[in-house]
């Protein structure tokens, strides 16, 4: 077994946006840390994409906002419609400046930027291809065990923080009860070439047969989100396009698609 580091203040399990942001905040405040992440590279697709003003304000405090603004797209208006007419709109420009918008930035870009910012502070802070196994507590420290390939390694720290998502292995290892609930709502979503006239506006359609949302993305793409009656485990482009065509009359079939998935809602 290899001891990867001497006793450091904080070990973070999970190198997604939350874990990376936390590590940057700690290092900027003079607190050493390590991040354990099982993936070698950032996520490859867009996934979560909306960065809200309060998050941008936190980025401002850490001095990391600029690259997000350079690669993201500002959404300053949302429009509500039926299948045939406009119902109303909301202007984010009425929110406090300077961040009077929602920033559309694919999670793949967000993770890449945060990794870059973390490496500027400490090139060795992020340990990739590392999977959490367990932890052991003593009176003054916690030892975290993780695997890298065929080898088990360990790090001692004062604090262990789990940023490893809704199925957190850290939470389970700590026997912390999770009382989450799954809601009946289900959706499919996909990113397609933008063939609408909405430009940088977000749009929410409220037809009787099911909600449809669409949000602009950088590079001429648009995220489509369609509410479904039941969870669809294996959606395809044609299915999503057929929902959009049937409900609001807009045709996205045959256009470029870069991501497609189903999801549910839970807390």
Share of the chain above pLDDT 90, in %: 88
Residue intervals of the chain classified under CATH 3.30.70.2450 are 182-266
* pTM higher than the cut 0.85: yes
In this structure, the strands spanning 221-228 and 212-217 are antiparallel
> How far is residue 114's CA from residue 249's CA, in Å, rounded to a whole number?
39
> How high does pLDDT run on average in the chain?
95
How does pLDDT run across 130-163, given as a tens digit for each residue? 999 999 999 889 999 999 989 999 999 999 999 9
* pLDDT mean over 15-29: 98
> How far is residue 214's CA from residue 190's CA, in Å, rounded to a whole number?
10
- pLDDT number for residue 263: 94
Integer CA distances (angstroms), 180 to 167, 183, 187, 227, 265, in order: 11, 10, 19, 22, 11
Give me the CATH topology for the region 182-266: Alpha-Beta Plaits (3.30.70)
> How far is residue 105's CA from residue 47's CA, in Å, rounded to a whole number?
10
Residue intervals of the chain classified under CATH 3.50.50.60 are 2-49+106-173
Give me the CATH topology for the region 2-49+106-173: FAD/NAD(P)-binding domain (3.50.50)
At 2, is the pLDDT very low, low, confident or very high (cuts 50, 70, 90)?
low
Share of the chain above pLDDT 70, in %: 98
Q: Give yes or no for residue 3 having a pLDDT over 70.
A: no
* pLDDT mean over 21-39: 98
How does pLDDT run across 55-82, given as a tens digit for each residue? 999 999 999 999 999 999 999 999 999 9
């Amino acid at each position: 077994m290899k001891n990867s580091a001497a006793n450091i203040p904080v070990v973070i399990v999970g190198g997604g946006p939350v874990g990376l942001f936390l590590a940057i905040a700690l290092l900027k405040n003079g607190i050493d840390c390590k991040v354990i992440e099982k993936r070698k590279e950032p996520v490859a697709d867009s996934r979560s994409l909306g960065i809200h003003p309060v998050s941008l304000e936190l980025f401002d405090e850490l001095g990391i906002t600029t690259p997000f603004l350079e690669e993201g797209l500002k959404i300053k208006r949302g429009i509500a419609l039926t299948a045939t007419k406009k119902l109303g709109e909301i202007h984010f420009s009425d929110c406090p400046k300077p961040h009077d918008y929602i920033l559309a930035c694919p999670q793949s870009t967000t993770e890449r930027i945060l990794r870059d910012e973390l490496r500027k502070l400490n090139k060795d802070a992020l340990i990739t291809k590392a999977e959490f196994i367990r932890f052991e507590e003593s009176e003054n420290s916690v030892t975290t065990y993780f695997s890298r390939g065929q080898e088990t390694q360990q790090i001692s720290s004062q604090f262990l923080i789990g940023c490893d998502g809704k199925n957190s292995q850290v939470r389970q290892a700590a026997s912390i009860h999770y009382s989450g609930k799954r809601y009946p709502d289900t959706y499919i979503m996909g990113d397609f070439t933008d063939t609408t006239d909405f430009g940088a506006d977000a749009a929410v359609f409220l037809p009787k047969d099911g909600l449809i949302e669409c949000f602009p993305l950088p590079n001429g793409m648009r995220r489509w989100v369609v509410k479904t009656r039941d969870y669809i485990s294996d959606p395809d482009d044609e299915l999503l396009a057929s929902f959009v065509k049937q409900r609001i009359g807009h045709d996205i079939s045959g256009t470029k698609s870069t991501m497609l998935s189903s999801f549910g809602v839970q807390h």
